[in-house]
A and B are shown apart, each in its own frame.
Chain A
């Protein structure tokens, strides 16, 4: 079946502009995650959605970052007033989580490469 998809694959923007990044999780996956991977760095957790529960936003680096998940499926990560340090690959993942104690396998999308000039 189809995997996690993200769009756009590349985004170049000017400092100060807002950007929206989209993620389509695997159909039926209730959990959705956003990560950021900067050059030479490990993946950094940003936000987690699980079903209808309140999202875990603890990883968002500033109030310029926000994310929504509509209808329990598609998610949009919005970065307002972009800064050069926001340049990174933004990765989305989804999992079919039971909500139990076990950590479920996360399946990643191809990412959106964001460049802020």
Chain B
């Protein structure tokens, strides 16, 4: 099993749609979880951290299920500007600095 696995997509959705991304991780010792966003030919940027209780930032909601080693990102009322690759990121168990990145899920929001 890969350390971090994501559905590669691509996801093509109309503006205003709700879209959900899923991610699984293999190392049960991992403690820190993130979603990064990467625009085409640009660097990754932190979208949000993922907390055990789940957390929301505007139209974005992240959830963590430690028992299932599963992370999700929900985007509501999607905008054209949400088009990007979404990277699931997990710290390697036992390390507070080594991050393992998923390959990303490509989202295209269409007018």
Contact = CB atoms under 8 A, between A and B. Distances in A.
Contacts of B87: 42-43
B97 A48 contact: yes
Contact of A108 (B32, B43, B49, B96): B43
A53 to B, nearest CB: 11
B78 to A, nearest CB: 23
B43 A97 contact: no
A100 interface: yes
Contacts, number: 54
A30 to B, nearest CB: 11
B94 to A, nearest CB: 11
A31 interface: yes
Given A31-B97, A101-B96, A42 B102 contact: yes
Contact of B103 (A41, A103, A106): A41
Contacts of A42: 4, 87, 100-104
A68 B78 CA distance: 43
Interface string A70-109: 0000000000000000000001000101001111111111
A91 B49 CA distance: 21
A102 B49 CA distance: 12
B97 A97 contact: yes
B80 to A, nearest CB: 23
Interface of B: 4, 31-32, 42-46, 49, 87, 91, 96-104
10 contacts: A42-B102, A45-B100, A91-B43, A100-B96, A102-B32, A103-B31, A103-B97, A106-B46, A110-B42, A110-B43
Interface of A: 31, 33, 35, 40-43, 45, 48, 50, 56, 59, 91, 95, 97, 100-111
